Chains A and B, each alone.
Chain A
């Protein structure tokens, strides 16, 4: 049985009590502990700066050429916090409730409550760092509303909130680099985790610029490496985002939890052409002022301005009168798919719906809309060559975020002692569906406010053997990494990693995407090993290994997707209920909404690796709801 280590006591007091009961490390002793932090997004950069400030010896690793480029930078809309600055009924309790409900009752109550509690401090910290959050004319912080909530609790910096929060964390981290507490190693890709006596004691990386395989030892490892959405090939993730670090840790014994919980974001720019390398998100905040519609008639291919009001179906407003266009992401995405499946989709492919701002522009004036969304509208114009000030945007759902991730306990520690997992890379806070503006909140909560306490407790209560990188475990890990690289280079086949990745992605999108069923999932499970075999028989990885070789990096990541996809599909197959982003066609209400099965599936599914081609072992962490009573989620 998995022990979540949730502290006792009333929900609101658990975190305070836990902090008091946790061990501390004397300031003079902190520099004797080396903490390896992999990834420099919001979770990694905030953890590096917070731990560096405390005096730990931090080594930070990034696959990018600068820590500031991590994909958190692309988050547009905002960050939630229970400040109740708007006097509109918000509270820690309400943010907690909205998040548990939004996650379709598949998250851990105590974690979510702590997240809501720390949200308040995050805003203060970011303001102090100089994050230019939007302000009202009187000088107070401004808020906007976001999907899945009826209060305005989202703080934002134009449409570049993720960028500004990441720069705040990055700058704090660089301050520690200058002070010598943090060492920043860029262009490093973690390719294996090193365990000594069962504890995570180091990593093996490849220096992406020189090809050198490097070993690093420490007392704890923090994985802050993001999600696995790029397994689907086309997603809103950056092209460099990948599952490799998490997957390598999983192979070393860290359980992978709820991989089938993937978030498909409703407002992305539709696919065009076959060579497209990624999809672009249009912030959910657009749904505040944009109205979603399709023609009432199938196959109505008149231009949008020629379709009279009476012949338009504002289907979200019609079906969900109380939330309207602001229903949560999973609901909005499924409805978009449903109207397109009915043949009412728009655009050339028929795989798009309109997001129309004409009402808001009439009501508020074009200048207000420009002030709120100019950069998003510009981005849309650059990509589609259409002007959303004049014609409605066309949008369609795309893979965006992954709620699943490595299993962690309340202390953010995985099933491997010493291996902590933060941010999107863990599974803990969002259940089966994440609410908008909550990813940034979680990344920063984990890094600034949770890990400094829980890591100290781990370090203070653990006995460490002296370990250097000469230890056999490092030698073994390095030779395994080298052997794999050699193998990739030696195939010399005729298919590119991208071709194989695209093929896997199409398979996953069709069968493990917005709607899943048993037959399709079984087909996928049969197909993945064939694709993997084809990869290792026929992939082409030319060029040098001892130099920058992006295709070699990419090939290694694709090889990992081809392993990871199996547990993703298996998890989706085993969970016969629908919940949040996981929609099983066999389990729906008469209205077509996701139908949960709390009697059988109110648990976290954590998978233990048994070797490639062998079925992983399922471990269950029962979810107990003491404070929020699970009900059929309704946004009507």
Chain B
């Protein structure tokens, strides 16, 4: 197959960027989308040109490193799929595709398709954990947890922090990411202890980092490669209001 690409090229965070046209020949159906970019880069490197910068690591959809817009959709057209797991059999010979980085004030572009997602770490830093030191944990079976509860916690814990939810949102909100962690921990008895303080500090940090508000349009859920539902956001909002009422008396 032959694939035509328009790729966002931006030399560094302060340089102006723009779309550049490339054509990649000899694309096979078995290739992943990132292998298509590898192929393009091999050609650029052999010609002594600066290859297209894009992030990737595990290439099996679990590390959350990769991600960019394919024709305006985070991770491309397949639902529940990171771009490393998107395969070229999804496309046709001669297709024209536009690749752009995540666009959000809280995710500044570093180069080409690579953005700075460190704001996510800082949201976790604000309370995305249980405050237990190594050493004093009780036996793992000391607390019984209903199977259904663990399954729901696991559904939320499956978030890979890729940033697609932010890229899809017109407000560049990270509500889905933040609420997934709040649900994961808040649903479990181990995390219930800090449920109120956690939600308040994580939501505040989310806002401080420059992410926008959620306006319940659900684009985030539609593009999430782990299909994390926006009911987590509703749950976060309930937790937040409850915590604000409770914490006033603290």
Please give the residue numbers on chain A whose beta carbons come within 8 Å of chain B beta carbons, in ascending order: 46, 49-50, 53, 64-69, 71, 73-74, 83, 85, 121, 123-130, 132-141, 155, 157-158, 160, 163-164, 167, 170-172, 174-175, 177-178, 184, 186, 209, 238-240, 272-273, 275-278, 280-281, 378-379, 382-383, 385, 448-449, 452, 492, 494-499, 540-544, 547-551
Q: How far is the CB of B248 from chain A (nearest CB, A)?
A: 23
Of the candidate stretches B57-65, B95-103, B236-244, the one touching chain A is B57-65
| Structural contact, B143 and A127, CB atoms closer than 8 A | yes
| Structural contact, A542 and B89, CB atoms closer than 8 A | no
Q: 7 additional contacts, CB 8 Å, given A140-B144, A551-B51?
A: A69-B64, A74-B63, A125-B134, A138-B144, A172-B134, A275-B39, A277-B38
User: Which of A123, A239, A543 touches B56 (beta carbons < 8 Å)?
Assistant: A239
| Structural contact, B58 and A71, CB atoms closer than 8 A | yes
CA distance A498 to B80 in the complex (A): 30
User: Which of A239, A379, A499 touches B61 (beta carbons < 8 Å)?
Assistant: A379
> Known contacts A128-B137, A240-B57: does B85 contact A548 (CB below 8 Å)?
no
Chain B residue contacts of A184, Cβ below 8 A: 121
> Known contacts A379-B60, A547-B12: does B45 contact A65 (CB below 8 Å)?
no
CA distance A396 to B58 in the complex (A): 19
CA distance A85 to B80 in the complex (A): 36
Q: How far is the CB of A184 from chain B (nearest CB, A)?
A: 7
User: Which of B65, B78, B87, B126 touches A65 (beta carbons < 8 Å)?
Assistant: B65
| Structural contact, A74 and B89, CB atoms closer than 8 A | no
* Interface check B3, CB cutoff 8 A: no
Count of A-B residue pairs with CB < 8 Å = 219
CA distance A543 to B48 in the complex (A): 8
Name the 5 nearest CB pairs between A and B, nearest first: A139-B144, A171-B129, A128-B137, A543-B50, A124-B137
- Binary A-proximity of B57-78 (CB < 8 A = 1, otherwise 0): 1111111110000000000001
Q: Give the B interface residue count (CB, 8 A).
A: 78
Of the candidate stretches B146-154, B164-172, B213-221, the one touching chain A is B146-154
User: Which of A135, A238, A378 touches B63 (beta carbons < 8 Å)?
Assistant: A238
| Structural contact, A383 and B132, CB atoms closer than 8 A | no
* Interface check B16, CB cutoff 8 A: no
> Known contacts A130-B185, A238-B63, A542-B50: does B134 contact A496 (CB below 8 Å)?
no
| Structural contact, B145 and A66, CB atoms closer than 8 A | no
User: Which of B56, B63, B129, B145 touches A139 (beta carbons < 8 Å)?
Assistant: B145
Give 26 pairs: A residue, B residue, CB < 8 Å, sorted on A. A65-B116, A68-B64, A85-B141, A125-B132, A128-B132, A130-B153, A132-B153, A132-B157, A135-B146, A135-B150, A137-B147, A157-B157, A160-B154, A164-B157, A167-B157, A240-B56, A240-B57, A273-B30, A275-B28, A275-B39, A280-B59, A378-B80, A452-B134, A540-B45, A548-B110, A550-B51
Chain B residue contacts of A540, Cβ below 8 A: 45-46, 48
Chain B residue contacts of A164, Cβ below 8 A: 154, 157
Chain A residue contacts of B60, Cβ below 8 A: 74, 278, 280-281, 379
Chain B residue contacts of A178, Cβ below 8 A: 125-126
CA distance A239 to B158 in the complex (A): 22
| Structural contact, B145 and A135, CB atoms closer than 8 A | yes
Q: How far is the CB of B187 from chain A (nearest CB, A)?
A: 9
Q: How far is the CB of A241 from chain B (nearest CB, A)?
A: 8
Please give the residue numbers on chain B whose beta carbons come within 8 Å of chain A beta carbons, in ascending order: 11-12, 28, 30-32, 34-35, 38-39, 41-42, 44-46, 48-51, 53, 55-65, 78, 80-81, 85, 87, 89, 110-111, 114, 116-118, 120-121, 124-126, 128-135, 137-141, 143-147, 150, 153-154, 157-158, 160-161, 184-185, 188, 190-191
CA distance A83 to B139 in the complex (A): 10
Chain B residue contacts of A139, Cβ below 8 A: 144-147
| Structural contact, B11 and A64, CB atoms closer than 8 A | no
Chain B residue contacts of A175, Cβ below 8 A: 125, 129, 131
Q: How far is the CB of B164 from chain A (nearest CB, A)?
A: 15
| Structural contact, A67 and B121, CB atoms closer than 8 A | yes
| Structural contact, B137 and A277, CB atoms closer than 8 A | no
| Structural contact, A134 and B87, CB atoms closer than 8 A | no
| Structural contact, A157 and B190, CB atoms closer than 8 A | no
User: Which of B51, B117, B146 touches A542 (beta carbons < 8 Å)?
Assistant: B51
CA distance A47 to B161 in the complex (A): 23
Chain A residue contacts of B12, Cβ below 8 A: 547-548
CA distance A546 to B122 in the complex (A): 26
Q: How far is the CB of B238 from chain A (nearest CB, A)?
A: 20
| Structural contact, A238 and B57, CB atoms closer than 8 A | yes
Cβ-closest chain A residue relative to B191: A130
Cβ-closest chain B residue relative to A76: B62
> Known contacts A132-B184, A178-B125, A383-B85: does B141 contact A69 (CB below 8 Å)?
no
> Known contacts A171-B124, A175-B129, A498-B42: does B57 contact A239 (CB below 8 Å)?
yes
Chain B residue contacts of A65, Cβ below 8 A: 55, 65, 116-118
| Structural contact, A238 and B59, CB atoms closer than 8 A | yes
| Structural contact, B38 and A275, CB atoms closer than 8 A | yes
Chain B residue contacts of A448, Cβ below 8 A: 134
Cβ-closest chain A residue relative to B55: A65
| Structural contact, B134 and A449, CB atoms closer than 8 A | yes
> Known contacts A128-B130, A138-B144: does B125 contact A71 (CB below 8 Å)?
no
CA distance A170 to B181 in the complex (A): 13
User: Which of B89, B110, B128, B140 touches A123 (beta carbons < 8 Å)?
Assistant: B140
